[in-house]
Chain A
Amino acid sequence: MDTAELKRIANEVRKNIVTSVHAAKSGHPGGSLSSADILTYLYYVEMRGLDPKDPKNPDRDRFVLSKGHAAPVLYGTLAEKGYFPKEDLVTLRHIGSHLQGHPDMNLTPGVDMSTGSLGQGISTAVGMALAGKMDGKDYRVYTLLGDGEIQEGQVWEACMFAGHRKLDNLVVIVDLNGLQIDGEIAKVCSPFPVDEKFMSFNFNVIHADAHDFDSLAKAFAEARETKGMPTAIIAKSVKGKGVSFMENNADWHGKAPNDEQFMTAMKDLEEIGKGL
């Protein structure tokens, strides 16, 4: 798939995010928009064995959204990919919807793990990768963490284990947008240097631009070739990417656009779409 097509899909995923969070009147647009290109690349290029008609295929690659509050980007990608109708997106966070505020593996087709409590998803991804090794299967496991999320101690328990067990079928991606609810991660409680931390836990570390598909392609290719250790991709991103007034603004971590803001946001994305 060429870069132009990936950009077009990612822009559709961003529209899905804005549409669903607006309809929900709550949710987390900032960290969803920042990771839209990463999920697009994973679901359209990188991950193997995916089939919307057979979402539980035991040999499929797996994805765990450890930063579960970015559910809108996962739903937006899965809907785009055909796991469920796009019309469902406006039911996000509504009573009776399969689209819960945080991902529920027992309700939404294509969700590989229920997540939401930060720091826990990565451990489950490690468990999946370990199961693959025990069973001699060649599926790979991907997990996306927020840069604020890596303040959770459990993340480093999981990394210690993954490094120790040399789980080279595991890729940990950090969506490094630099912002958490209370402000800049560097000011709230700095996790920097992030790369050296992963290195010291025996990870292969790759830096990437979270909004450049060539950069992502290079990073995931290197991860696939890396043997004997897990990979961490530190993906530098822009929180709120694609929506002018949300970009680099921590206020849009967990807030829905009102009707007027929704119109502006969709106009921004339409404009980006035209330019592609």
Chain B
Amino acid sequence: MAVKYDLSGEKKIATRESYGNALVELGQEHEDLVVLDADLAGATKTGTFKKAFPDRHIDCGIAEANMMGIAAGLATCGKVPFASSFAMFATGRAFEQVRNTIAHGELNVKVAASHAGISVGEDGATHQCCEDIALMRVIPNMVVINPCDDVEAQAAVKAAYEYVGPMYLRFGRLAVPVLNDPETYRFELGKGIVMRDGSDLTIIATGLEVYESLVAAEKLAAEGINAEVINIHTIKPIDKELIRSSAAKTGKVVTVEEHSVIGGLYSAVCETLAEKNPVRVLAIGVQDEFGHSGPAKDLLKEFGLDSEGIYKKIKEIL
């Protein structure tokens, strides 16, 4: 059953804002929740939490590796730490700390990063992390979440608190349309969501590409092409059953992600399908290249990651 959603794009919120707001809500209920940042509280939006709970916000300065270790130590003493930085530094700079100290120790630390993908915009390649999903997905014990909008992001942060164990949460800088219906939306860890039923092909999208894919699907529908659109918010563990059943039904799969086509959603979907029911899978994402400076909207267009780019690419293969 497809779910209720809004494609009007009238209301836009960056998922980093959702993260900050959800932390405050959780902080009111849970004394053991602590938030760490590495001098980016304003940008990651943990500053929202800092305002409400200054004693439980730990600014580690510009030292991401140490921040991950402190989070791990806090977790062994019963705290539930959310450690934040930009995706590049949380998963790149501190990769080994996340792997060896947090994940191998199975410690209850949430690595929650903002500024993922090319939609970082003007800061350019050094800050546009398109490898974070790949880096986190390959680590044993890690759960990887990439929410698509405000409603899903807030629900994911709450689910992250409830889940005991290491987890990576990916948030964006760019304000994106609020797609999901806050009244009816339900987040279930590890379960994909069929946003739109279809029979001609399956579009599997994650993060802000869920909205873009749904808009593309509408354009395809106007031409009589009926695309099923699946939202994969949990990239690991991935919803194998849903992906396999939809692929078996439509026989054609397209993955859409604001991440490298190497190691992210495309890889996870291909791994899932290759094992049991291989079908052709087309990758829409950041190709094997770096981003560069520019307004986020223009970059998404240039990299073929807006609805128009998705629509065109799908038309090419059909």
Minimum CB–CB distance from B83 to chain A (whole Å) comes to 10
Stretch of A31-39, A82-90, A154-162 contacting B (4+ beta carbons < 8 Å): A154-162
**Residues of chain A from 106 to 153 with CB closer than 8 A to chain B in the complex:** 106, 112-117, 119-132, 134-135, 153
Q: How many residues of B are in contact with the other chain, CB < 8 A?
A: 28
**Residues of chain A from 148 to 191 with CB closer than 8 A to chain B in the complex:** 153-154, 157-158, 160-161, 164
Q: Does B104 contact A (CB under 8 A)?
A: yes
**Set of chain A residues within 8 Å of B56, measured between Cβ atoms:** 134
Q: Which residue of A lies closest to B106 (CB)?
A: A106
Q: Does A105 contact B (CB under 8 A)?
A: yes
**Set of chain A residues within 8 Å of B71, measured between Cβ atoms:** 127
**Residues of chain B from 212 to 253 with CB closer than 8 A to chain A in the complex:** none
Q: Does B296 contact A (CB under 8 A)?
A: no
Minimum CB–CB distance from A167 to chain B (whole Å) comes to 11
* Contact mask for chain B residues 105-142; partner A; CB cutoff 8 A; 1 contact, 0 none: 11000000000000000000000000000000000000
Q: Does A58 contact B (CB under 8 A)?
A: yes
> How many angstroms between the C-alpha atoms of A157 and B100 in the bound complex?
18
* Contact mask for chain A residues 211-248; partner B; CB cutoff 8 A; 1 contact, 0 none: 00000000000000000000000000000000000000
Contact of A157 among B63, B72, B104 (CB under 8 A): B63
Q: Take A113-B105, A158-B66 as given contacts and tell me if A127 and B61 are in contact as well, using a CB distance cutoff of 8 Å.
A: no
Contact of B77 among A104, A122, A128, A157 (CB under 8 A): A128
**Set of chain B residues within 8 Å of A158, measured between Cβ atoms:** 66, 69-70
Q: Does B101 contact A (CB under 8 A)?
A: yes
Q: Are B77 and A58 in contact (CB under 8 A)?
A: yes
Minimum CB–CB distance from A126 to chain B (whole Å) comes to 6
Q: Which residue of A lies closest to B69 (CB)?
A: A123
> How many angstroms between the C-alpha atoms of A30 and B306 in the bound complex?
59
**Residues of chain B from 28 to 82 with CB closer than 8 A to chain A in the complex:** 34, 55-56, 58, 60-61, 63, 65-66, 68-79
Q: Provide the main secondary structure of the chain B interface.
A: helix
Q: Take A58-B78, A117-B101, A160-B61 as given contacts and tell me if A130 and B73 are in contact as well, using a CB distance cutoff of 8 Å.
A: yes
Q: How many residues of A are in contact with the other chain, CB < 8 A?
A: 34
Minimum CB–CB distance from A152 to chain B (whole Å) comes to 9
Q: Does B85 contact A (CB under 8 A)?
A: no
> How many angstroms between the C-alpha atoms of A135 and B34 in the bound complex?
12
> How many angstroms between the C-alpha atoms of A39 and B283 in the bound complex?
55
**Set of chain A residues within 8 Å of B34, measured between Cβ atoms:** 134
> How many angstroms between the C-alpha atoms of A135 and B61 in the bound complex?
22
Q: Take A106-B106, A157-B63 as given contacts and tell me if A124 and B77 are in contact as well, using a CB distance cutoff of 8 Å.
A: no
Q: Are A130 and B96 in contact (CB under 8 A)?
A: no
**Set of chain A residues within 8 Å of B106, measured between Cβ atoms:** 106
Contact of A126 among B55, B70, B96, B100 (CB under 8 A): B70
Minimum CB–CB distance from B295 to chain A (whole Å) comes to 35
Contact of B69 among A105, A126, A131, A164 (CB under 8 A): A126
Q: Are B101 and A161 in contact (CB under 8 A)?
A: no
Q: Does B97 contact A (CB under 8 A)?
A: yes
> How many angstroms between the C-alpha atoms of A132 and B77 in the bound complex?
8
> How many angstroms between the C-alpha atoms of A86 and B10 in the bound complex?
68
Minimum CB–CB distance from A99 to chain B (whole Å) comes to 16
Q: Are A120 and B70 in contact (CB under 8 A)?
A: no
Q: Are A105 and B105 in contact (CB under 8 A)?
A: yes
Minimum CB–CB distance from B85 to chain A (whole Å) comes to 13
> How many angstroms between the C-alpha atoms of A58 and B100 in the bound complex?
23
Contact of B65 among A114, A135, A154 (CB under 8 A): A154
Minimum CB–CB distance from B97 to chain A (whole Å) comes to 6
**Set of chain B residues within 8 Å of A135, measured between Cβ atoms:** 77
Q: Which residue of B lies closest to A131 (CB)?
A: B77
User: What are 27 A-B residue pairs whose CB atoms fall within 8 Å in the complex?
Assistant: A105-B105, A106-B105, A113-B76, A113-B105, A120-B96, A121-B69, A123-B65, A123-B70, A123-B73, A124-B101, A126-B66, A126-B69, A126-B70, A126-B73, A128-B73, A128-B74, A130-B58, A131-B73, A131-B78, A134-B34, A134-B55, A154-B65, A160-B66, A161-B60, A161-B63, A161-B66, A161-B70
Q: Which residues of A contact B (CB under 8 A)?
A: 58, 64, 104-106, 112-117, 119-132, 134-135, 153-154, 157-158, 160-161, 164
List 10 A-B pairs, minimum CB-CB distance, nearest first. A127-B73, A123-B69, A131-B77, A157-B66, A157-B63, A124-B73, A127-B70, A128-B73, A114-B105, A117-B100
Known pairs A124-B69, A127-B70. 16 more at Cβ < 8 A? Answer: A58-B78, A117-B101, A120-B65, A120-B69, A120-B100, A120-B101, A122-B69, A123-B101, A127-B74, A130-B70, A130-B74, A131-B74, A134-B55, A154-B69, A157-B60, A158-B70
